[in-house]
A = this chain, B = another copy of it.
Amino acid sequence: MDIENLNGLLRPKSVAVIGASATPGKIGHTVLLNLKESNYQGGIYPINPNEQEILGFKCYQSVLDVKEPIDAAILTIPAKFVMDTVDQCGKKGIKGLIIITSGFSEVGQVELEKDLVAKARGYGMRILGPNIVGVLSNSDNFNGSFAPFLPFKGKGSLVSQSGALLIGIDAATYMRGIGFDKLISIGNMSDVDFADTIEWLDQDENTSCISLYIEGFKDGRRTIEVARKAKKPIVALKSGVSAHGAAAAASHTGSLAGAAKIYKSAFSQAGIIQAEDLDNLFDRTLALSQQPPLKGENILILTNGGGVGVLGTDAAEKYGIPLKFAPEDVQEELKKHMPDFGSAKNPVDLTGMAGNDWYFETVNFSHGHKWVDGLVVLYCETAMTDPMGIAKAIKDGVDKSGKADKPVTVSFVGGERSEKAMHWLVENGIPAYAAPDKALNAMAALREYQLIRETANNEPFVTNKADRSMALEIINKARQDNRTSLTEIEAKEVFKAYGLPVTQIRLSTNEDEAVKFAKEIGFPIVMKIVSPDILHKSDAGGVKVNVKDEQGVRDAFKEIMKNAKAYKADANIHGIVIQEMAPWGTEVILGSVNDPTFGPTVMFGLGGIFVEVLKDVTFKVAPFSKHQALGMMSEIKAAPILSGVRGEKPRDREMLAETICLYANMIMDLKDEISESDANPVLVYEEGKGLKVADARIILKKK
């Protein structure tokens, strides 16, 4: 990455405002005013051929007239003038363009935008935008935007794909008391995209958490790669989860995919923590920017009210960190700081009598105790206590425990005094929220971050089982026939070339051949019609299972041919496959799509009702590690079936995980050839006994 040019763009030492205006209310005026009012210390050069001076700054005809070096140019001129200006900026040696101007790809001017990027790149310049609000940075006193002021100060930095939302959020930071160091409006992402900003913010000394509002990635695969390598927590709110819809598609996988589920999987692969909604993005950013990850699962809740304690307990379970009782010794100590009718279990109820001292003592002890991995402190405002005193007792207790690597979150339910006390806590590095469930959700984010760290940088599964040339030969043959789907027998050959354990299969074109193959494979066998015109073989009466002897083969051959012709008189029939009848096993389905954002992506689920009725499937962008493939098995609700239920033995999950990896490697290696594919059903046997792919389908990319 060209960090140097991005520095020039996002932390410029000097800026030109191209289109600076003397007319208040115009964006070219607002930006200049904002630079001035944010007390920006770098050089400020308004460019406007018709003015001598605006807001006390000397005006220039062109950036080329400025003698001093310029890092960034902020463009507010109409779209039609932008191209010429880029030339001037390039010649001046400007590093980056902050293009506020709209009127590009968002209104269909896709080519104009491409030309713009090509030209800027020719000069080595980077572009933020176009169609953005600008860049705001507290640590640089830089409001290079038309948003009214720098946000409330904080340690997270936000990248937003929506400009209007960024302005709203900017103002909202003060109401919420949750701040940011930088707000970056990313707009059309013609050049600088989420991947670039993540990479850059990860090395920015003033950012401790990267916060994203995402409508869609430009290059999903690169964004995953960059995010996976980031050393700071990343939290994202993805919108438009209902918009995409399930596209009409030729396979199960296609119809089950839909953008939202793939994004969710991609976030988890990328180590990006998800936010549920706008409030949650604020809340989680605050916790992740101020607190260390939660390294274990023992959280302790301290409270002065049973009600909020129970609400906290419910939330702990809801967000995946259920409470356990603290060991006896912890309970013994805690009992010293509460009345008889208090409770030292978890939540620890200090009762409404709890004042500063009890809060200090219990926070200090619990935060310091080795059993406690994370501490959640709850408080209901009472007439007898002073919220600020409680806040200070909490902070003091935490500081004096000497455990800087153990997270704390807080919730006060109360009025103005509580609000002030919470602001003080936040200013002093302890995230505090107005409802108990939010403190628990914040703690859960810190747990999710730890789990992500533990599984990060999982290298893809490596195998030598890949005969690409064999696979391409089969695919090319189909293409020569002008087909975009392979027959089952072809698909299985391709699967086999990548090491997938397919059932034995032979194509017969007449009864005698069918009998011969059946004898070679061994009875019982399955017989299935092979025709590129008949995709749903069962519906067409094209399948016979458990065929036990020669006469059975002959009868079935005749019947299947008859049914096929009845189903579609002019079907192109290749013959009938004679297939090993795999013993019964747990049915699972593998599928793949070639997602427009993320590329080859694997779907996994249990067969039959589970996929068709319950839509109980999970996705992962290919390729991935065996560990991640095993993870997919616990991501579906039907997971216990693979571990063995109702007295059955566990299924061979190790071999299934390897098979999923081989499948992922196949669709990755053939990403230019395969559009969608299915292995359905895959029959999985008990541990140590492997599995069999009983049917296969491949749909080719149109070329």
Picked from B148, B317, B413, B614, the residue with its CB within 8 Å of the CB of A165 is: B413
A169, A171, A609, A638: most-surrounded residue (chain B CB, <10 A): A171
Residue of B nearest to A437 (CB): B277
The digit string for A523-555, where 1 denotes a CB below 8 A from any CB of B, is: 000000000000000010000000000000000
User: In the complex the two chains form, what is the Cα distance from A352 to B279 in whole Å?
Assistant: 22
Least Cβ distance of A145 to chain B in Å?
Answer: 10
Picked from B278, B305, B418, B647, the residue with its CB within 8 Å of the CB of A436 is: B278
What are the residues of chain B within 8 A of A251 when measuring CB–CB? none
Picked from B305, B637, B647, the residue with its CB within 8 Å of the CB of A168 is: B305
Q: Which residues of A (330-344) have their CB < 8 Å from a CB of B?
A: 341
Interface-located stretch among A156-164, A289-297, A399-407, A466-474: A156-164
What are the residues of chain B within 8 A of A107 when measuring CB–CB? 341
Number of chain A residues whose Cβ lies closer than 8 Å to a Cβ of chain B:
80
What are the residues of chain B within 8 A of A175 when measuring CB–CB? 415-416, 418-419, 434
What are the residues of chain B within 8 A of A517 when measuring CB–CB? none
Residue of B nearest to A242 (CB): B317
The digit string for A294-330, where 1 denotes a CB below 8 A from any CB of B, is: 0000000000111110110111111000100000000
User: In the complex the two chains form, what is the Cα distance from A339 to B165 in whole Å?
Assistant: 19
Is A174's CB within 8 Å of the partner chain B?
yes
Picked from B239, B307, B310, the residue with its CB within 8 Å of the CB of A311 is: B239
Least Cβ distance of A30 to chain B in Å?
Answer: 7
The digit string for A621-656, where 1 denotes a CB below 8 A from any CB of B, is: 000000000000000011011000111000000000
Is A122's CB within 8 Å of the partner chain B?
no
Is A613's CB within 8 Å of the partner chain B?
yes
What are the residues of chain B within 8 A of A160 when measuring CB–CB? 307
What are the residues of chain B within 8 A of A1 when measuring CB–CB? none
Picked from B171, B341, B640, B646, the residue with its CB within 8 Å of the CB of A381 is: B171
Residue of B nearest to A413 (CB): B168
User: In the complex the two chains form, what is the Cα distance from A106 to B646 in whole Å?
Assistant: 43
Q: Are the CB atoms of A172 and B645 closer together than 8 Å? A: no
User: In the complex the two chains form, what is the Cα distance from A161 to B414 in whole Å?
Assistant: 17
Residue of B nearest to A417 (CB): B171
Q: Are the CB atoms of B304 and A164 closer together than 8 Å? A: yes
Least Cβ distance of A699 to chain B in Å?
Answer: 22
What are the residues of chain B within 8 A of A436 when measuring CB–CB? 278
Is A596's CB within 8 Å of the partner chain B?
no
Residue of B nearest to A106 (CB): B341
Q: Are the CB atoms of B437 and A278 closer together than 8 Å? A: yes
What are the residues of chain B within 8 A of A434 when measuring CB–CB? 172, 175, 279
Q: Are the CB atoms of B240 and A310 closer together than 8 Å? A: yes
Is A382's CB within 8 Å of the partner chain B?
yes
Least Cβ distance of A134 to chain B in Å?
Answer: 12
Is A125's CB within 8 Å of the partner chain B?
no
Picked from B164, B306, B435, B614, the residue with its CB within 8 Å of the CB of A278 is: B435
Q: Are the CB atoms of A380 and B278 closer together than 8 Å? A: no
What are the residues of chain B within 8 A of A640 when measuring CB–CB? 613
What are the residues of chain B within 8 A of A322 when measuring CB–CB? 242
Q: Are the CB atoms of A311 and B171 closer together than 8 Å? A: no
Q: Are the CB atoms of A418 and B240 closer together than 8 Å? A: no
User: In the complex the two chains form, what is the Cα distance from A317 to B258 in whole Å?
Assistant: 15
Once A175-B434, A317-B242 are accepted as A-B contacts, the answer to whether A164 and B308 lie under 8 Å apart by CB is yes
User: In the complex the two chains form, what is the Cα distance from A384 to B25 in whole Å?
Assistant: 7
Is A383's CB within 8 Å of the partner chain B?
yes
What are the residues of chain B within 8 A of A215 when measuring CB–CB? 307, 310
User: In the complex the two chains form, what is the Cα distance from A381 to B168 in whole Å?
Assistant: 5
Residue of B nearest to A341 (CB): B107
Q: Are the CB atoms of A306 and B381 closer together than 8 Å? A: no
Q: Are the CB atoms of A148 and B278 closer together than 8 Å? A: no
Least Cβ distance of A604 to chain B in Å?
Answer: 17
Residue of B nearest to A641 (CB): B613
User: In the complex the two chains form, what is the Cα distance from A415 to B162 in whole Å?
Assistant: 17
Least Cβ distance of A121 to chain B in Å?
Answer: 27
Q: Are the CB atoms of A382 and B167 closer together than 8 Å? A: yes
Is A180's CB within 8 Å of the partner chain B?
no
Residue of B nearest to A608 (CB): B646
Residue of B nearest to A609 (CB): B641
Q: Which residues of A (96-150) have their CB < 8 Å from a CB of B?
A: 106-107, 146-148
Q: Which residues of A (348-385) have their CB < 8 Å from a CB of B?
A: 352, 380-384
Is A612's CB within 8 Å of the partner chain B?
yes
Q: Are the CB atoms of A638 and B614 closer together than 8 Å? A: yes
Residue of B nearest to A379 (CB): B168
Least Cβ distance of A664 to chain B in Å?
Answer: 26
Q: Are the CB atoms of A165 and B239 closer together than 8 Å? A: no
A278, A279, A341: most-surrounded residue (chain B CB, <10 A): A278
User: In the complex the two chains form, what is the Cα distance from A343 to B307 in whole Å?
Assistant: 46
Q: Are the CB atoms of B383 and A414 closer together than 8 Å? A: no
Is A213's CB within 8 Å of the partner chain B?
yes
Q: Which residues of A (1-43) have their CB < 8 Å from a CB of B?
A: 25, 30
Q: Are the CB atoms of B165 and A308 closer together than 8 Å? A: yes
Least Cβ distance of A382 to chain B in Å?
Answer: 6
Once A278-B436, A307-B239 are accepted as A-B contacts, the answer to whether A172 and B317 lie under 8 Å apart by CB is no
User: In the complex the two chains form, what is the Cα distance from A565 to B567 in whole Å?
Assistant: 57
Q: Are the CB atoms of B171 and A278 closer together than 8 Å? A: no
Q: Are the CB atoms of B612 and A645 closer together than 8 Å? A: yes
Q: Are the CB atoms of B30 and A435 closer together than 8 Å? A: no
Q: Are the CB atoms of A171 and B239 closer together than 8 Å? A: no
Picked from B164, B173, B317, the residue with its CB within 8 Å of the CB of A352 is: B164
Least Cβ distance of A484 to chain B in Å?
Answer: 26
What are the residues of chain B within 8 A of A146 when measuring CB–CB? 383
Q: Which residues of A (470-511) have their CB < 8 Å from a CB of B?
A: none
Q: Are the CB atoms of A172 and B242 closer together than 8 Å? A: no
* Chain A residues proximal to chain B, CB less than 8 Å: 25, 30, 106-107, 146-148, 160-165, 167-175, 213, 215, 237, 239-243, 277-279, 304-308, 310-311, 313-318, 322, 341, 352, 380-384, 412-419, 434-438, 539, 608-609, 612-614, 637-638, 640-641, 645-647
- List 13 other contacts, CB 8 Å, given A613-B640, A613-B645: A147-B383, A164-B304, A164-B307, A164-B382, A165-B413, A168-B305, A168-B412, A168-B414, A169-B413, A172-B413, A175-B419, A242-B314, A277-B435
Supply 18 A–B pairs (Cβ within 8 Å), ascending by A: A106-B341, A146-B383, A162-B305, A165-B308, A165-B311, A167-B383, A168-B380, A168-B418, A170-B415, A175-B416, A240-B314, A241-B317, A242-B322, A243-B313, A278-B311, A278-B413, A608-B646, A614-B614
